[in-house]
Amino acid sequence: MTTPIWDFVQRYQKAETSRLHMPGHKGAVQLGCEPWDITEIRGADALYEADGIIAESERNATALFGTAHTFYSTEGSSQCIRAMLSLAVSRAARRGDAPRILAARNVHKTFIYACALLDAEVRWLYPSTPGGLCSCPITPAELKAALAEEQTRPAAVYVTSPDYLGQQQDIAGLAKVCAAYDVPLLVDNAHGAYLKFLPQSAHPIDLGAAACCDSGHKTLPVLTGGAYLQIGHTCPEWVAEARSALALFGSTSPSYLILQSLDLCNRALAQDYPQRLQRCADRLAGLCEQLQKTGCAVRQTEPLKLIVDAAQMGYTGYELADLLRAEAVECEFADEDQLVLMATPYNTELDFTRIEKALAILKAKPTRAPIAFDFAPANCCMTLREAVFAPHEQLPVQQAVGRICGSPTVSCPPAVPIAVSGEMLTPAHAALFERYHITTVEVVAKGFTADRTK
């Protein structure tokens, strides 16, 4: 496996060339990484017009992921989500379809911003059984019923899988339904880049998705910000269009540290990563079993996540996070009811031992009732775009009831909106905001009405 970007920067740094170009640090060390932090100089290729070392590195990634094409992003899955929605909306325009996305409601807030930017209409798909704030299971039969109701063909179906709690949608089943309706399936696979490297790939592209985003930085050995826009084999025209779609939302100064990290990740993936992944998943499964034996309400929803049901044990997730901190472990996410731990093959045995030490001694207390969360359809007064770009004012939660949500209101993580821009805020929303420690909300300014004649 070649590492052309890393090789180039190594050569450049060793040549001690006088840097009369950006960035301004000129390679002088403050953090330590500056000598390798370059920009698009001669020979370094250009991310959005790649035909040199970046193109070669992306070809390596494409072969590893088995996609029609794997594109690099240095601005996270967030950039890839905007790009894939833009591809879907452009394709819809070409085909005379509606710029409407059918989306499972547990979207990351980036989806809302992307739809606002693209003026895409959203029809939310709600779960038949409430799954909490993070999860929104949609079965193929439910998707089929939703698509059958559509008067005009939508631009795409969009689901998040795995979600923050590691729940996975039936991507293969959903992809079949989408194929029958000739609608592309887009997957927010930010948490699942590694799924490709399990003994049996569970990566969305292998299961029939048209495109997905993978945050390399969440589960692979990649610097924060490194991500992939994965194009599947069902929308081949997107291979030619995706780079421009990414450029539409990206900085003209992509980080070469992140590009090198994505480049070197290819080598790790081609070497012993799959074996190391399996060992990590087995170790986590073993830890889960051991903890369950001690009475800890823990489950492994996907191979690299451990979820502790704090409410069932009579604790809050925040309390468990503090107990873990006392053993020098920092979790990924905690709320009133849950705690999420994310492991990768780059965790050490010491890390697992510390988790066990903190959780195995927990004495379960009387169970607490978890937050009842239901993604109930809300009264929508404006489109996403109208509400996001309208003038806003910030109000304390209780005063926001009866007003229109301006910015999607999220607790971060998991950044899944409790209320979506354009929705009328209700007392039920306010109660949920308070449970998630949200104290103020951005609402559409009083007196503003969308001018629908424009």
Ligand X SMILES: Cc1ncc(COP(=O)(O)O)c(C=O)c1O
Binding site for ligand X (CB under 6 A): 76-78, 108, 110, 160, 164, 188, 190-191, 215, 227, 413
Question: C-alpha distances in angstroms, 401 versus 373, 375, 431?
Answer: 18, 17, 10
To ligand X, the closest distance from the beta carbon of 174 in angstroms equals 17
- Which DSSP state fits 148? H
Q: By the 8 A CB rule, do 191 and 217 touch?
A: no
To ligand X, the closest distance from the beta carbon of 335 in angstroms equals 14
Q: What is the largest CA-CA distance in the chain?
A: 67
Q: By the 8 A CB rule, do 210 and 234 touch?
A: yes
To ligand X, the closest distance from the beta carbon of 245 in angstroms equals 16
To ligand X, the closest distance from the beta carbon of 128 in angstroms equals 21
How close are the terminal C-alpha atoms of the chain, in Å? 53
Nearer to ligand X among residue 197 and residue 228 (C-beta): 228
Beta strands in 169-319 (DSSP E): 185-188, 211-214, 227-231, 298-299, 305-309
Q: By the 8 A CB rule, do 168 and 162 touch?
A: yes
3-class state of residue 440 by DSSP: strand
H helices, E strands: number in the chain? 15, 13
- If DSSP states are collapsed to H, E and C, what string results for 202-224? CCCCCCCCCEEEECHHHHCCCCC
Nearer to ligand X among residue 13 and residue 301 (C-beta): 301
Outline where 17-75 has alpha helix (H): 53-65
To ligand X, the closest distance from the beta carbon of 131 in angstroms equals 14
Nearer to ligand X among residue 8 and residue 194 (C-beta): 194
Nearer to ligand X among residue 314 and residue 413 (C-beta): 413
To ligand X, the closest distance from the beta carbon of 385 in angstroms equals 20
Nearer to ligand X among residue 135 and residue 316 (C-beta): 135
* Distance from C-alpha of 80 to C-alpha of 221, rounded to nearest angstrom: 19
Nearer to ligand X among residue 23 and residue 413 (C-beta): 413
Beta strands in 13-84 (DSSP E): 69-73
To ligand X, the closest distance from the beta carbon of 190 in angstroms equals 4
- By Cβ distance, which residue is nearest to ligand X? 76
Nearer to ligand X among residue 164 and residue 373 (C-beta): 164
Question: Amino acid letter at 252?
Answer: T
